[in-house]
């Protein structure tokens, strides 16, 4: 038996306390079968036929987008009403047809109506997304400042009033639009009229939005065998199909990723060709617990850092209004990953500089095949380095988000409070430090954190970041930041000391104090949580002074254990064995299979790379000079270790285990051998 989801899918049964959630997973089409001829299509043959169809669609999308890339048409589409005042459908392709915006295939090419639907859907989504950029740019241009490099407070108020929703818009967005207009004025000697004069029509991705089709073009079915599905779609047999006979049905089996639940409803995917393979973005809907905006008693506070990418800890809101911290918190350190990311960025900059130099030589001289070949090689290498950077950022974002959600689950928290750093600009900390801060993928981490937390019903709420690292978490007194706890007179940023030595006296890591402040602020302001209509994200937009006064962490009372002697002292050995190992390891054969290493070191590696050390630095993955000294190692300052020796990603991203309570006392320290 086969359950069909078709194009729209079936209704998902829900119970009390559940809600439907639509997510997306990546899958790979490894081949197909032409149902007309029975021919088995290899991955390369399937990619070729999908590419032909995507090329036809992208051509129609480009023509349709360029025709309506103007302020009048975008405003009409975004208004939600047609010329007769009727409400436009939510589907982009239906809205474009209501407005009379049509497109057609090239002359002599035969396509069905569903192919035109996909082109209209993709073009309509691009035009709708341009409305927000157009409104922001129009607001910035309407109140142009006297000095675009530095607005006065009054000018900031004016531009926020001119931009729709500008009160809560990050300042970095307004600054970027201002810089874009300044660059246009520098080239043309005047300000642009709107965003459509400043930006060309967007580039069109070669993909197939099957969600705009129905069963006459594509269907997706789930078989009784778990983890398997079947996608059927019509594809051309030639790049320029002349008749409908040049289109045939192709059945493509899909191995579903394990992240898709068994009872999830499948939807038609989006297909794209990458690396000679057909990749599918498979949407599915499944039931998840509802997330709540208020009523939270245990929260996880998450603070951003650099080498210590995330610092997190849990706090509890008691019935009497007190807030206490649960344990000492934890950290997610990714200094090795960020160092590699920094090295790839510098490599990309050098490659771009070389490619630009070759391009200038090609443009200024007669055609030179040798220069053109060198430029092509550099362009391909730039693409490869960019792909490596993207993959590294993606892996880092998923690992950090997974760690934060696991901390919340372990603490029993129902909400994660994350500081909002969208407006943060890295400056004043040195060129290298500023650049690395700007390259941090905070937005990707936050998005993936929301995705993973929704599966378990945990809400993710962003809170204002103002003064979270500046004020003491226990008394809100401005902190003194020092270089280290053993250097209390040297100014720095890592260690924080409360100057109220007699009333509070708190001191600790700056990031650990910040997550306490974030968790306390979120718990006291949870009634101010709102849901953003555009993104669906929960956010606390502003800080209320009356509530902020109660956002303090109450320190746990210090208890002293009664050490009065109640009996005779137990006899101890003269030389007790170490606590971790009560007796020497058993003797074994010599060589790699010798004594069992102490601690948690794996036994299948004779020597751990340096990257596995928890206190790593940026130089753990440096690249040596290619020059070799006679009879010696490479002449660079550092020899390759860590990733170069196969340590991999996870040995460069270290985390501290959650400690939500004090460890239980060791009652077996003197009971003998444990081996």
Task: Report the distance separating Cα 145 and Cα 324, nearest Å.
Answer: 47
Show me where the domains of the chain are located.
57-198, 298-341+390-548
| Model pLDDT, residue 576 | 58
CA torsion 608→433→390→300, rounded to 10°?
Answer: 80
Q: What predicted TM-score, i.e. pTM, was given to this entire model? A: 0.77
- The DSSP line for 451-493 is HHHHTTT-EEEEEE-TTTTTB-TTT-PBPEEEEETTEEEEE-S
Question: Which are the contacts of 26, defined by CB distance < 8 A and separation ≥ 6?
Answer: 257, 279, 280, 281, 282
Task: Report the distance separating Cα 469 and Cα 296, nearest Å.
Answer: 23
| Model pLDDT, residue 670 | 41
| Model pLDDT, residue 620 | 40
Task: Report the distance separating Cα 305 and Cα 670, nearest Å.
Answer: 42
- The DSSP line for 618-675 is GGGGPPPPS-B-TTSSBSSSS---GGGGT--STTSSEEPPP--SPPPP-S-TTS----
Of 440, 434, 338, 374, residue with least CA distance to 652: 338
* Residue whose pair of structure tokens reads 């975008």 in the numeric block: 74
Asked if 606 contacts 594 with a C-beta cutoff of 8 angstroms, the reply is no
Show the low-confidence residues of the chain (pLDDT under 50): 1-9, 594, 596-599, 601-603, 608, 611-625, 627-630, 633-636, 638, 640-646, 661-675
CA 213 to chain centre: 30
Strand 32-34 relative to strand 40-41: parallel, antiparallel, unpaired? antiparallel
DSSP H or E run through 410: helix 369-411
- The DSSP line for 333-355 is E-HHHHHHHHHHHHHHHHHHHHH
| Model pLDDT, residue 132 | 92
Task: Report the distance separating Cα 203 and Cα 327, nearest Å.
Answer: 50
* Encoded tokens for 107: 């002359």
| Model pLDDT, residue 440 | 63
* Residue whose pair of structure tokens reads 């995330």 in the numeric block: 310
Mean confidence (pLDDT) of the chain: 83
Of 41, 14, 19, residue with least CA distance to 30: 41
Question: Which are the contacts of 481, defined by CB distance < 8 A and separation ≥ 6?
Answer: 491, 492, 493, 494, 495, 496, 497, 510
Q: Which fold has domain 298-341+390-548?
A: Nucleotidyltransferase; domain 5 (3.30.420)
* Encoded tokens for 417: 């409070």
């Amino acid at each position: 038996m086969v359950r069909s989801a078709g194009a729209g899918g079936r209704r998902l049964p829900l119970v009390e306390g559940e809600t439907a959630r639509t997510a997306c997973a990546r899958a790979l089409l490894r081949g197909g079968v032409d149902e007309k001829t029975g021919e088995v299509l290899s991955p390369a043959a399937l990619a070729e036929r999908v590419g032909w169809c995507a090329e036809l669609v992208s051509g129609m999308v480009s023509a349709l987008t360029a025709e309506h890339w103007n302020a009048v048409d975008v405003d009409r589409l975004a208004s939600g009403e047609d010329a007769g005042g009727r409400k436009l459908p939510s589907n982009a392709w239906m809205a474009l047809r209501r407005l009379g915006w049509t497109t057609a295939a090239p002359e002599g090419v035969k396509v069905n109506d569903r192919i035109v639907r996909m082109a209209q859907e993709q073009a309509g989504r691009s035009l709708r997304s341009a409305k927000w950029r157009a409104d922001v740019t129009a607001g910035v241009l309407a109140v142009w400042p006297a000095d675009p490099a530095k607005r006065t407070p009054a000018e900031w108020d004016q531009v926020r009033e001119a931009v729709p929703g500008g009160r809560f818009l990050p300042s970095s967005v307004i600054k970027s639009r201002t810089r874009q207009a300044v660059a246009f004025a520098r080239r043309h000697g005047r300000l642009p009229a709107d965003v459509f004069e400043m930006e060309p029509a967007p580039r069109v991705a070669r993909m197939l939005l099957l969600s705009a089709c129905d069963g006459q073009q594509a269907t997706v079915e789930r078989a009784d065998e778990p983890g398997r599905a079947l996608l059927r779609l019509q594809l051309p047999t030639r790049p320029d199909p002349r008749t409908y006979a040049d289109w045939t049905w192709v059945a493509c089996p899909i191995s579903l990723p394990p992240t898709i639940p068994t009872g999830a409803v499948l939807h038609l995917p989006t297909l794209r060709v990458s690396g000679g393979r057909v990749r599918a973005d498979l949407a599915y809907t499944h039931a998840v617990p509802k997330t709540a905006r208020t009523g939270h008693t245990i929260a996880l506070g998450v603070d951003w850092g650099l080498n210590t990418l995330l610092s997190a800890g849990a706090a509890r809101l008691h019935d009497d209004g007190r807030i206490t911290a649960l344990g000492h918190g934890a950290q997610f350190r990714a200094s090795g990953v960020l160092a590699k990311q920094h090295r790839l960025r510098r490599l990309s900059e050098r490659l771009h500089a070389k490619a630009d130099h070759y391009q200038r030589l090609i443009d200024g001289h007669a055609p030179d095949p040798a220069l053109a070949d060198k430029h092509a090689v550099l362009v391909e290498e730039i693409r490869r380095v960019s792909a490596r950077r993207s993959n590294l950022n993606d892996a880092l974002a998923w690992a950090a988000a997974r760690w934060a959600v696991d901390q919340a689950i372990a603490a029993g928290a129902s909400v994660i409070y994350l500081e909002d750093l969208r407006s943060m600009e890295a400056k004043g900390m040195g060129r290298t430090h500023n650049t690395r801060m700007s390259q941090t993928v905070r937005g990707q981490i936050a998005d993936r954190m929301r995705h993973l937390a929704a599966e378990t019903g945990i809400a993710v709420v962003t809170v204002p970041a103002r003064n979270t690292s500046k004020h003491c978490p226990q008394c809100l007194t401005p902190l003194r930041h020092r270089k280290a706890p053993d250097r209390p007179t040297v100014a720095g940023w890592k260690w924080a000391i409360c100057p109220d030595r007699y009333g509070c006296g708190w001191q600790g890591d700056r990031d650990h104090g910040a997550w306490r402040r974030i968790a306390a602020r979120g718990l006291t302001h949870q009634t101010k949580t709102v849901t953003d209509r555009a993104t669906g994200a929960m956010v606390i937009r502003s800080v209320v002074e009356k509530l902020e006064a109660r956002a303090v962490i109450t320190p746990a009372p210090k208890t002293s254990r009664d050490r009065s002697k109640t009996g005779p002292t137990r006899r101890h050995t003269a030389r007790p064995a170490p606590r971790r190992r009560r007796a020497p390891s058993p003797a074994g054969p010599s060589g790699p299979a010798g004594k069992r290493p102490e601690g948690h070191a794996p036994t299948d590696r004779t020597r751990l790379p340096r990257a596995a050390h928890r206190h790593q630095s940026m130089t753990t993955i440096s690249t040596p000079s290619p020059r070799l000294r006679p009879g010696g190692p490479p002449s660079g300052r550092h020899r390759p270790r860590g990733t170069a020796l196969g340590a991999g990603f996870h040995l460069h991203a270290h985390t501290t285990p959650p400690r939500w309570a004090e460890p239980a006392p060791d009652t077996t320290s003197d009971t003998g051998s444990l081996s």
